[in-house]
């Protein structure tokens, strides 16, 4: 393993070139993998960058794999949601080592190649076994399942909710609020399927799941050449999928969640920005449905009131329940329409400094649990701010959307 560790400087310099070559070659040679890999993340380089970072982290911690456990668990949860199979690991391993050889040339000595082959399969077997365990928790749902869109509701200028019911009408398994499901649908402009993870945005219900999807601007699904920021699936859902249409859905997964059964009377603080509101809403609605009097502080930041979703719902719950506190930040209020105190509480980006440390953040209660979701810079700032207030990192739970896994100090 010392040989693998010695390649850290090489990966730092050439990691992105290796992963770009890896994806490009593998997808061309094995085109059916287009049905699994996110082509938007391929096009903007996010997936290659995430894999390069993962390789660097793996080589850096090859002697202490326990440090990578949270990252490995996050990836395994995603793989289980996409029904990745052991045979996929064989293909990935072959093309990854091939890409190393292509980029590094003579620098990839037989000894380094052999060491990386062994290291790859060490990690692959850990992940294969973990994903098998996850699959065993849902023995009656082992592949994509047909769901019908029964309702489509516009929540804001950017966000639309989709209510999904299984075609077989069998009761749905519960999930932990904060978790996500994956959907799979055809993308005509690409001529293959695409999968995306979407947080479940409501409390568990045996009859339906709800996802709330932000339109990722930049793609016109009727114009295949328009791929500046290719949010393929979100645009298709918004523009082309309607009640009565069928999409494929996977069993809920995810390591970011609030567990109602493990909750006592400790406060929970939900901090979100933008579309990061969706898992928080699931937590809030689950808490409300349980009848718990556990203090909840729901704090959300949005760019404008027009782009923000679920404001009235959150305000309704806060007005109805003394133990629920709702605080809304708007970065750019409409000076002609938006009234402070009615449509929002604070102007500007969500800032911990504008919040009451006790009534809204409960920082003096060392049992308070914090859940954070939004853009990476937002989550990094919130985590840093909470820790500066004396909150232990172990009580701060964060969810990152997309291809990456956020590094934590």
Q: What is the pLDDT of residues 324-373, one digit of tens each?
A: 999 999 999 998 999 999 999 999 999 999 999 999 999 999 999 999 99
Chain segment 125-173, per-residue pLDDT in tens: 999 999 999 999 999 999 999 999 999 999 999 999 999 999 999 999 9
Contact 364, 383 (CB under 8 A): no
Task: Print burial letters for 283-292: b (CB count within 10 Å at least 16), e (below 16).
Answer: bbbbbbeeeb
Active-site residue among 83, 95, 131, 381?
131
Residues of the chain below pLDDT 50: 219-221, 226-227, 406-407, 409
Question: Backbone phi, then psi, for 396, in 5-degree steps?
Answer: -110, 115
The question of whether 23 is a catalytic residue gets the answer no
- pLDDT for 283 equals 97
Measured CA to CA, the distance from residue 29 to residue 404 in angstroms comes to 25
CB 327 within 8 A of CB 299: yes
CA-CA distance, 4 to 117, in Å (whole number)?
10
- The tokens of 346 are what? 């604070």
Q: pLDDT > 90: what percent of the chain?
A: 84
- In angstroms, the CA 277 to CA 177 distance is 12
Position 221 scores a pLDDT of 47
- Residue 349 and residue 351: Cα distance in Å, rounded? 6
Q: What is the pLDDT of residue 121?
A: 96
pLDDT confidence of residue 1: 74
Q: What are phi and psi of 335, to 5 degrees?
A: -65, -20
Q: What is the pLDDT of residue 248?
A: 98
Q: What pLDDT shows up at residue 6?
A: 94
Reduce the secondary structure of the chain to three states and give it as a string: CHHHHHCHHHHHHHHHHHHHHHHHHHHHHCHHHHHCCCHHHHHHCHHHHHHHHHHHHHHHCCCCHHHHHHHHHHHHHHHHHCCCCHHHHHHHHHHHHHHHHHHHHHHCCHHHHHHHHHHHHHHHHHHHHHHHHHHHCCCCCCCCEEEEEEEEEECCCCEEEEEEEECCCCCCCCCCCCCEEEEEEEECCCCEEEEEEEEECCCCCCCCEEEEEECCCCECCCCCCCECCCCHHHHHHHHHCCCCCEEEECCCECCCCCCHHHCCCCCEEEEEEHHHHHHHHHHHHHHHHHCCCCCEEEEEEECCCCCCCCHHHHHHHHHHCCCEEEEEEECCCCCCCCCECCCECEECCCCHHHCCCCCCCCCCCCCCEEEEECCHHHHHHHHHHHHHCCCCHHHEEEECCCCCCCCCC
Q: Catalytic site residue 89? A: yes
Q: Which of 58, 89, 120, 232 is catalytic?
A: 89
254: left (phi over 0), alpha (psi -120 to 50) or beta: left
Residue keyed to tokens 């990094």: 380
Q: State the Cα angle at 71 between 162 and 111, rounded to 5°.
A: 135
pLDDT at residue number 263:
58
Q: What confidence score (pLDDT) does residue 407 get?
A: 45
């Amino acid at each position: 393993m010392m040989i693998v560790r010695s390649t850290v400087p090489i990966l730092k310099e050439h990691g992105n070139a290796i992963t770009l070559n890896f994806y490009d070659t593998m997808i061309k040679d094995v085109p059916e993998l287009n049905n699994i890999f996110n082509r938007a993340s391929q096009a903007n380089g996010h997936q290659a960058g995430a894999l390069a970072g993962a390789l660097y982290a793996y080589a850096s911690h090859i002697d202490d794999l326990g440090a990578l456990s949270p990252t490995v668990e996050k990836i395994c949860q995603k793989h289980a949601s996409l029904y990745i199979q052991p045979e996929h690991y064989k293909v990935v391993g072959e093309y990854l080592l091939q890409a190393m050889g292509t980029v590094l040339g003579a620098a990839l000595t037989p000894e380094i190649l052999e060491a990386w082959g062994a290291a790859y399969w060490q990690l692959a077997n850990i992940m294969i076994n973990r994903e098998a365990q996850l699959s065993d928790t849902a023995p009656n749902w082992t592949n994509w399942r047909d769901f019908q869109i029964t309702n489509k509701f516009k929540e804001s200028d950017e966000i639309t909710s989709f209510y999904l019911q299984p075609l077989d009408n069998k009761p749905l398994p519960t999930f932990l609020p904060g978790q996500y499901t994956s959907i799979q649908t055809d993308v005509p402009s690409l001529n293959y399927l695409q999968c995306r993870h979407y947080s479940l945005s409501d409390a568990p219900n045996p009859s339906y799941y709800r996802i709330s999807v932000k339109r990722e601007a930049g793609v016109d699904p009727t114009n295949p050449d328009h791929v500046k920021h290719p949010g393929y699936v979100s645009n298709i859902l918004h523009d082309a999928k309607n009640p009565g249409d069928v999409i494929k859905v996977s069993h809920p997964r995810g390591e970011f969640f609030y567990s109602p059964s493990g909750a006592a009377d400790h406060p929970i603080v939900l901090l979100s920005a933008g579309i990061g509101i969706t898992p928080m809403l699931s937590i809030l609605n689950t808490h409300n449905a349980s009848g718990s009097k556990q203090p909840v502080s729901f704090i959300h930041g949005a760019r404008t009131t027009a782009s923000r979703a679920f404001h009235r719902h959150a305000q309704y719950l806060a007005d109805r329940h003394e133990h629920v506190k709702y605080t809304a930040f708007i970065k750019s209020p409409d000076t002609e329409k938006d009234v402070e105190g009615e449509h929002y509480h604070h102007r500007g980006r969500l800032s911990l400094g504008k919040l009451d440390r006790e009534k809204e953040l409960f920082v003096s209660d060392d049992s308070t649990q914090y859940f954070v979701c939004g853009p990476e810079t937002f989550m990094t700032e919130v985590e840093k701010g909470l820790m500066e207030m004396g909150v232990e990192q172990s009580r701060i739970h964060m969810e990152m959307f997309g291809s990456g896994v956020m590094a934590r100090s």
